Amino acid sequence: MKINVFETKEELYRAVADFYIKAINEKPNMILGLATGTTPIPLYQNLIKAYQDKLVSFKDITTFNLDEYIGLPKTHKESYFSFMRNQLFNHVDINLDNTHIPSGVLEPSEAIKEFQTALDAHQVDIQLLGLGSNGHIGFNEPGTSFESTTHKTQLALSTIQDNSRMFDSIDEVPTESITMGIKDIMRASKIVMIATGAQKADAVYKMIQGPVDESLPASILQKHDDVVIFLDKDAASLLK
């Protein structure tokens, strides 16, 4: 694991954006695994600006998103389909036919098969991850098998509470999702993890310095050959 700690979130997100700009310019047709939630939004904003400044192009990029809520139509403002368009895709030159997000409205087994088939036909070059306060990656909650592939999952109460800030009330947050599995995530050539804020410090500590255990899904990253972690000083505060 290569661990980078920054004084401010602004410095962190500038560094992550520079990392992606360099990587995409070196391999313009790379395959990116993308994440949703509040963590990647500043990264996407920086990448949009870089595109507008003609520093990077997404026209040959292929993407796979980690997850999607079950039961939200694509048109729902909090579906991850809408999120990716609003936060990134609609503002850059990506070919939308090359973007893949699990379906939240197909029958789940059908949605899982469709997404897994597409994912298995590609090799993700860089997988972006945020870190749940309970150590989840994607929507792989504590207790998820390290051998899991794309699957349906029940969201933990802590995840529902964390995500409720995006909805008008906690009662509106879906309780189930389809998520890329941990085995799928670990297949990526490189993994980039971003975590900020004191509320993530315990999960960061356990991810990096705790035992590798399914009770803390992100701990599996200790077993990957190429992980780059971007932390602000608050998220890194418990590291020795």
Could you please report the per-residue DSSP string of the chain?
-EEEEESSHHHHHHHHHHHHHHHHHHSTT-EEEE--SSTTHHHHHHHHHHHHTTS---TT-EEEESEEETT--TTSTTSHHHHHHHHTGGGS---GGGEE---SSS-HHHHHHHHHHHHHTS--SEEEE---TTS-BTTB-TT--TT--SEEEEPPHHHHHHHGGGSSSGGGS-SEEEE--HHHHHTSSEEEEEE-SGGGHHHHHHHHHS---TTSGGGGGGG-S-EEEEEETTTTTT--
Average pLDDT of the residues of the chain: 96
From the list 46, 68, 125, 136, the catalytic residue is 136
From the list 68, 125, 141, 232, the catalytic residue is 141
pLDDT for 165 beyond 90: no
**168 catalytic, yes or no?**
no
**141 catalytic, yes or no?**
yes
From the list 134, 140, 163, 184, the catalytic residue is 134
**pTM of full prediction above 0.85:** yes
**Each residue of 30-78: pLDDT tens digit?**
999 999 989 999 999 999 999 999 999 999 999 999 999 999 999 999 9
From the list 46, 67, 151, 232, the catalytic residue is 67
Grade residue 125 by pLDDT with cuts at 50, 70 and 90. very high
Range of weakest confidence among 40-54, 115-129, 145-159, 217-231: 145-159
**134 catalytic, yes or no?**
yes
pLDDT of amino acid 156:
85
